[in-house]
Copies of this chain bind each other. A is one copy, B any other.
Amino acid sequence: MKAALDLFSRNGVNGTSIEQIAEKADVSKSNVLYYFKNKEQLYIEVITRLLEIWLKPLQSFSIEQDPIEALAHYIKVKLELSRDYPAESKLFCMEVVQGAPLLIQELESPLTTLIENKVAVIKEWVEQGKLAEVDPYHLIFSIWAITQHYADFNVQIQAVTGKNLNNRAFFNSTLINIQNIILEGVRPRV
């Protein structure tokens, strides 16, 4: 499944043959089909396991926390995800970009409920004046977008900056900048 994940994320599902997966996993093609009856079945299992990893960090924050701290921490966790699970991030990205033919059902309900919770908390923070007026949905989307971008578009980022998240210093500066942009914005405070 690890081999499959890696190849799928790089070449797409249609661009990956069972034999390539077998070779990469150092097993025979027969053996792959001994455990997965289909390529599609294999894909589904890969995607399913990926979803667990991917949705876990979504469950973090609650009303009692300080919003700025909570958001800063959330950004950090998500950026670590991008650093530590780039293949997962990319495959998830490709799946969603292509319309998530399988994911859509499995994704819609857990995702919306998870988000509803977060949205409620953020909305509460805003009402208490602990956050500026912001639509919770767009805030969450923004954080997702930026953090995942560093995994999904790492080729582009590498091309432009010559660095990636595995570089410790780059990771730190990335994190700090994202947190600053989201939390403080770029307009100078007077």
Q: Which residues of A contact B (CB under 8 A)?
A: 9-15, 67-68, 71, 90, 93-94, 96-100, 104, 107-108, 111-112, 115, 129-135, 137-139, 141-142, 144-146, 148-150, 152-153, 155-157, 159-161, 173-174, 177-178, 180-189
Q: A14-B15, A160-B115, A188-B132 are in contact. Are A178 and B138 (CB under 8 A)?
A: yes
A139 B177 Cβ-Cβ under 8 A = yes
Partner pick for A144 among B12, B104, B134, B149, CB 8 A cutoff: B149
Complex contacts, A180 vs chain B, CB 8 Å: 132-134, 185
Inter-chain contacts of A188 with B (CB < 8 A): 129-132
Given A68-B187, A115-B160, do A135 and B96 touch, yes or no (CB 8 Å)? Answer: no
**Are B104 and A155 in contact (CB-based, < 8 A)?**
yes
CA distance A159 to B129 in the complex (A): 29
Q: How far is the CB of A39 from chain B (nearest CB, A)?
A: 13
Known: A12-B94, A67-B186, A139-B186. 5 other contacts (CB 8 A): A94-B97, A104-B155, A112-B159, A137-B161, A145-B153
Which of these, B67, B148, B189, contacts A132 with CB under 8 Å?
B189
